[in-house]
Structure 1
Amino acid sequence: MNSSAEHSRHIPREYEIKHSKWLRKMLHAYWVVVIVHFLVQIGCYLFLKYDRAPLDFIVNVLFWPTVLAVFCILLTSYMDRKFPSCSFTTMSITSTVIAWTIIHVNYDIRIMPAICLLPIFASVLFYDSKRVWFIFSLQVAGYGLLLLDPVYRAYLSSFDMVSIPIFLILATYVAQIIVTTGIEVLDDLQTSMNAKEDLIVRNAIIAKQSKTDGLTNLYNQSSFKDYYEKAFEYANLGMSLHLALIDIDDFKVINDTYGHRVGDIILEKVSLIIQESITASDIAARYGGEEFALLMFEQSFEQAYDLVELIRQKISLMGHLELGGASITVSIGLKGYNLDLSKDKLFEDVDACLYAAKRTGKNKTVTSLVPA
């Protein structure tokens, strides 16, 4: 994107909030400018040679310029609160009025016209070319209004009459270059941030894929072993832990009879039931071909038993069109952690319970506490 109009379409909400903050900071800065100008004028009148009568000084140098500036600042503050969409316009007018009022009061100071650059360069903060040229047009208008004053016009030389507009044009051109460069930098930064976000997302997807089984979307055996290792450490510190192994009965017959595609569908359906049944703190994994492993935390043995029994019953009651309406069953081994068990021993005991469930009729849950 090369234009400020295109850039403005993707300015985030946070950036607009910053605009409002910058406006308020600029208002604070102009309060400082008005107060400092007021004090400096008094100091110059008291301690330097000042060729104005007291009444003229008080009315035309102190009172009216200060009242006009304060009125503009207060009006802008009000507009910023009540009509924020108009705040930039009122801020631009205020800054222009203050700048050219100070120039008018101090027209005999050659460097003073440079103060009209403040509004122009302040507009750079908004990274909008239209706003920069709008401020420029206000400065030209302010200069034109001052030329209506015969005293000010008489003070200017022919060179001044030409150089001041050229000075404004060149300053605005520089401000425009700064804005264009800033927009390009912001666009490059946005592109870089988008690329970084895409990379983070891709890395997250890759990390998830490396931990999960592609068919069932459960954790794979490798990641389960990592979780099991960590879970056993927590169990040694007193956390409740139960391990269950779930195996689909006669799965080889399903594959041989209906094909591996149907077998994959059955695996997906069983994994979905497991995911729907466990709690948010439990961990389920596809441990091998048709075997699933389940870690259950913060539950009593009875709760863990009820959970795996619920899974077993849901699976046994579900009919499958792929199998001609027939259902399947699973066998389950279950055991809870105790201090006498190592992680390998716990796994071996649960595997033995699963084998016992298979050997004694299938479609059942066998535990170390409940007889087969």
Structure 2
Amino acid sequence: MKMRSFPSPSYAQLQRQTKWIKWFMRTYWIVIAVHFAAQLLSFLLLPYPSDAHNFYYYILLYPTILMSAVTVLAQYIQHVSVKYSFYALFIAGTIISMYIIHLNMDIRIIPATILLPIVASTVFFRINLTLFTAGLQIIAFGILYKWDHLFRLYLNDFDLIAIPIFIIICTLVASIIIISGRELVNDLEATMIAKQELIAQNTMMSKLAKTDALTSLFNHISFHEFYEKALVHAEKGTPFHLALIDIDNFKKINDTYGHRTGDIVLSKVAQLIRDNMSPADIAARYGGEEFAVLLFEQTFEEAYKLMENMRKKIAQTSHEELGNRSVTVSIGLKSYSPNDTKVSLFEDVDALLYAAKRSSKNKTVTPFHPAQY
């Protein structure tokens, strides 16, 4: 069976792994402290096969100092080189486990601590680290067996076979856990990506549902949603202005140049409206060649000046599709007043728009700037 390969860890993964390394380093200190306390209490409270000098020097202080030095060195490597911190971590753990086994080999379960670094390596989900750690444990077992005569004394022939087999089995199990874990992570990442894509699609669909496909302005339905919200805020003291814009003689453009050209003109006029309004304002294609604009955060005179500037810009823009001719627009504009309702305000502005169209067009008509017939 072909083993699945995994990409190298990312920077974010290395950051998380560095956090775990620090936790393991703290655990080493806890293990050293607990071992120190256990040895001392055993000597003080239980029959102990050693005199005070040998105990304090060879069993308590010297091993504790050596294990502490190894841990400090591993922490220093972790601080100066993240790349080698994993190896320093497991080498230090192997040395600490060797000393604990050496000092407590009369406890039958103690040799099993040689498996703990392999199990711990699974936290990092890196098979190369697990294999490296397994190799360290085999080397550690060989060192203990060759140079520690007391270790050999407590082992029987079965142990010589069982311990290496347990190391191999533990390594295989750890590798399976890592592969399974990595596949689970990949599945979760795939699920997250799919979820993000779905959110993006929903966002796009929501945007499409709220905007007009031709002009990219808000559509008729969206305008009424914003209009109703504007009325609610206006009743609480935040007034606004409503403008309706209609392209003059648009039917003639469609009849003369075709609907495709009419669509291009509509799109260009919508762009001019968008480019010449305040970022706080909302523009929508209300229907056909008619646009609606909600104006906020400005006085009526400022709103009138903005709409007049917009009207002039549209009139000054030539269209290649119309033989470099321009189009004009008529505009009705009115501010919200406390007596207005949704229907009455819209009808008033609509009436102002048609007054502009009946009086030679290409003008902005308001209650303060009436049409001149």
Q: Report the TM-score, using the length of structure 2 for normalisation.
A: 0.95
Compute the displacement of 1:3 (Å): 5.9
**1:4, 1:127 within 8 Å by CA — same for their partners in 2?**
no
| Percent of aligned positions that are identical | 47
**CA separation of 1:3/1:217 partners in 2, compared to 1, >3 Å: closer, same or farther?**
farther
Q: CA deviation at 1:4?
A: 6.6
Q: Which residue of 1 aligns with 2:341?
A: 342
Measure, in 1, the Cα distance between the counterparts of 2:197 and 2:67: 50
- 1:350-370: per-residue Cα shift (whole Å, max 9, x none)? 111110111111111111112
Counterpart of 2:58? 60
2:24 to 12, 15, 26: 26
Q: Which residue of 134, 145, 148 corresponds with 1:147? A: 145
Q: Give the Cα–Cα distance (whole angstroms) in 2 for the partners of residues 299 and 73 of structure 1.
A: 68
- The count of corresponding residues between Structure 1 and Structure 2 is 369
> SS where residue 325 of structure 2 aligns?
coil
Question: Which is worse superposed, 206-215 or 51-60?
Answer: 51-60
C-alpha distance in structure 2 between counterparts of 1:275 and 1:52, whole Å: 91
Alpha-carbon distance in 1 for matches of 2:185, 2:217: 42
List alignment gaps of at least 5 residues for structure 2.
none
Question: Are the equivalent residues in 2 in contact too, given 1:243–1:336 (CA < 8 A)?
Answer: yes
1:80 CA drift (Å): 2.0
Deviations for 1:64-94, whole angstroms, at most 9, x for unmatched residues?
Answer: 2111211122122222222122211111111
Deviation at 1:240, TM superposition (A): 2.2
Is the 1:4–1:129 contact (alpha carbons within 8 Å) kept by the matching residues of 2?
A: no
1:356 aligns with 355
Residue in 2 aligned with 1:365? Answer: 364
Map 1:25-104 → 2, pairs under 5 A:
25-104=23-102
Report how far residue 25 of structure 1 moved.
0.9
Q: Is residue 259 of structure 2 the alignment partner of residue 260 of structure 1?
A: yes
Pairing of 1:1-372 with structure 2 (within 5 A): 5-6=5-6, 8-9=7-8, 13-151=11-149, 152-372=151-371
Q: How big is each residue's C-alpha offset from its partner over 1:244-269, in whole Å with a ceiling of 9 and x where there is no partner?
A: 00111111111111111111111111
- Counterpart AA for 1:108: D
Structure 1 segments (4+ residues) deviating >6 Å: none
TM-score by length of 1: 0.96
- Compute the RMSD of aligned alpha carbons: 1.5
C-alpha distance in 2 between matches for 1:220 and 1:150: 85
User: Is the 8 Å Cα contact of residues 4 and 128 (structure 1) preserved in structure 2?
Assistant: no
For 2:273 and 2:13, locate their aligned partners in 1 and report how far apart those are by CA, in whole Å: 46
Counterparts of 2:295 and 2:107, CA distance in 1: 83
Q: Structure 1, unaligned stretches of length 5 or more?
A: none
